[in-house]
Amino acid sequence: MGRIDKHNYYLDLAEGVLARGTCLRRNHGAIIVKNDEIIATGYAGAPRGRKNCVDLGFCKREKLNIPRGERYELCRSVHAEQNAIISARRADMIGATMYLVGKDKKTGELATNTESCTMCKRVTINSGISTVIIRNTQKDYRIVNVNEYIENDDSME
């Protein structure tokens, strides 16, 4: 068995982080890495001191049949990307890479077409992170240059 490549190594770690997530729909794990050092980690969960969806036993967005990608202001959680960014100094994030993995809570399968929401893209832009690497399958991933979030401003649609 050969040595795992660096991107999949960090994606595996992000996948471990998502196991702490408290979302009933989809959990994500994020790791910020710079110069081969982990700067911060994050997973989806309610703000400190508030009850998580798993504690309440329901997801408001699911209860209202809100489709994926819509009405995130109703989401109880702080997203994985946001939690990772909150936990790091901006000076450490400039030029860093964020690794992102998502899993469907009900099936336990990797989430297909994982993508940061519009709010997380904004926070990522301002953090100074330059690259986001997103797991597609257990071995395949895509690399997103954060400048694409700026050039393809989905908040203007």
Q: pTM to 2 decimals?
A: 0.91
Active site residue 148: no
Measuring CA to CA, which residue among 43, 24, 46 is closest to residue 99? 43
Instruction: Give the tens place of pLDDT for each residue, 17-69.
Output: 999 998 887 889 999 999 999 999 999 988 898 888 888 888 787 788 877 77
**Could you give phi then psi for residue 41, rounded to 5 degrees?**
-130, 160
User: How far apart, in whole angstroms, are the C-alpha atoms of residue 98 and residue 41?
Assistant: 9
Buried b or exposed e, range 70-93, using 16+ CB within 10 angstroms: eeeeebbbbbbbbbbbeebeeebb
Give the model's confidence band at 92: pLDDT under 50 very low, under 70 low, under 90 confident, else very high: very high
Portion of the chain with pLDDT greater than 70, in percent:
97
Instruction: Give the tens place of pLDDT for each residue, 98-108.
Output: 999 999 888 88
Contact 80, 29 (CB under 8 A): yes
Q: Which of 15, 37, 73, 81 is flagged as catalytic? A: 81
